[in-house]
Structure 1
């Protein structure tokens, strides 16, 4: 547990005693793919760190349509907002694959913030980063056309979640096309047209369950 915590950006710079203390209040649990961890409007009681696997955070409209807000992978943290402001969850969270998560109860998480200013500061920076991302997304929805939004969303998805080798980025896709189109804020046919265009130009290629993005051809 301590070895993992040293690699989590949230706990960067903490000494061994601090990490040992944090490890003592954490619990590790495995979840099957598709497990709903919490739902929008529920009271918040747990803060999560992703040990392995991936999680999507999303809102669901009255008609059942989902809007994915964020994706989290190993080393990422989520679920802190409602623990800090005491209000219900602002979104739902679900595993995208078999995942192992590290959980801290609300009481343990808040005690951690009270006793470690560095962690409190990093939490604030993380929340600020997500707010900036939200502001940028609003800008994109307002000022960018559908095709540009899809291209930007795909590039962001590959950069954040893929593995790079030279000018190639390989992504093991955990989202379906409906979810990717929701992430970009466009209708599915627009997404599929961009993907077909990219395949024809060999910018995107499919290798088994992986998708490879050629940055050199994208920039060409």
Structure 2
């Protein structure tokens, strides 16, 4: 687990023995697919580091309507906001596949901040990036049409593999719709047309972007 923690930005500059100390106080837990890890509004006392698997961060209302804020995988973490301001959880977390987490208590995290001020600086940097990303998302929702939001989401999630852009996760049309604030039917029509045009190739657990996506639909 120390190797995973060392790759996380907030712990990357710590010495091996310091990372080992944090890891020794953490609790590892596994959860099956579709497990609710956190409910929006819950009280808080810990942050979670994803050791394996993928999760989604989402908001929902009483009618069951859901908006996905982001998806996260191994080496990423969540829950740090609530343990910093001690406010209720700001979003819900669900596993998208079997997951294993390293759970760090608020007391241990607070102690790490006191002992290692550089962690606080890195947390501030990470929070700044989060604010910028959320601002970008608001801009997209307000100024882009549905096609533009679909195209940007695909490109943002894609990773470069030998010159080819690939989204290495199982992503349903409903997932995309919930990420961009649209309907599954509209997203399905757009994805079908992109596939017909040879722009994308959906696989079982990935989507390959074959060429530059068209500017409009």
What TM-score does the superposition give when structure 1 sets the normalisation length?
A: 0.91
Preserved contact between residue 157 and residue 167 of structure 2 (Cα < 8 Å): no
Task: Give me the whole-angstrom Cα distance separating, in 2, the residues matched to 1:187 and 1:106.
Answer: 39
Q: Is 1:205 aligned to 2:201, yes or no?
A: yes
Aligned residues between the structures: 215
Alignment partner of 2:186 out of 183, 190, 204: 190
Secondary structure of 1:9's aligned partner? coil
Task: Give me the whole-angstrom Cα distance separating, in 2, the residues matched to 1:208 and 1:179.
Answer: 15
Shift of the 66–170 alpha-carbon distance from structure 1 to 2, 3 Å rule, reads closer
Secondary structure of 1:198's aligned partner? helix
Task: Give me the whole-angstrom Cα distance separating, in 2, the residues matched to 1:199 and 1:38.
Answer: 36
Structure 1: runs of 5+ lacking an equivalent: none
Preserved contact between residue 166 and residue 206 of structure 2 (Cα < 8 Å): no
Task: Give me the whole-angstrom Cα distance separating, in 1, the residues matched to 2:137 and 2:161.
Answer: 25
Preserved contact between residue 59 and residue 68 of structure 1 (Cα < 8 Å): yes
Task: Give me the whole-angstrom Cα distance separating, in 2, the residues matched to 1:200 and 1:124.
Answer: 44
Q: Is 1:164 aligned to 2:161, yes or no?
A: yes
Preserved contact between residue 199 and residue 213 of structure 2 (Cα < 8 Å): yes
- After superposition, what is the alpha-carbon deviation per residue over 1:92-143, rounded to whole angstroms, capped at 9, x for unaligned? 1111100111100111112211221111111111111111111111111111
Q: Is 1:29 aligned to 2:25, yes or no?
A: no
Shift of the 81–168 alpha-carbon distance from structure 1 to 2, 3 Å rule, reads closer
Secondary structure of 2:51's aligned partner? strand
Shift of 1:219: 6.9
Preserved contact between residue 53 and residue 73 of structure 1 (Cα < 8 Å): yes
Moved more, 123-132 or 203-212: 203-212
Task: Give me the whole-angstrom Cα distance separating, in 2, the residues matched to 1:124 and 1:44.
Answer: 20
Secondary structure of 1:154's aligned partner? helix
Task: Give me the whole-angstrom Cα distance separating, in 1, the residues matched to 2:106 and 2:122.
Answer: 17
Shift of 1:177: 1.8
Shift of 1:47: 0.3
Shift of 1:4: 2.3
What TM-score does the superposition give when structure 2 sets the normalisation length?
A: 0.92
Task: Give me the whole-angstrom Cα distance separating, in 2, the residues matched to 1:217 and 1:87.
Answer: 43
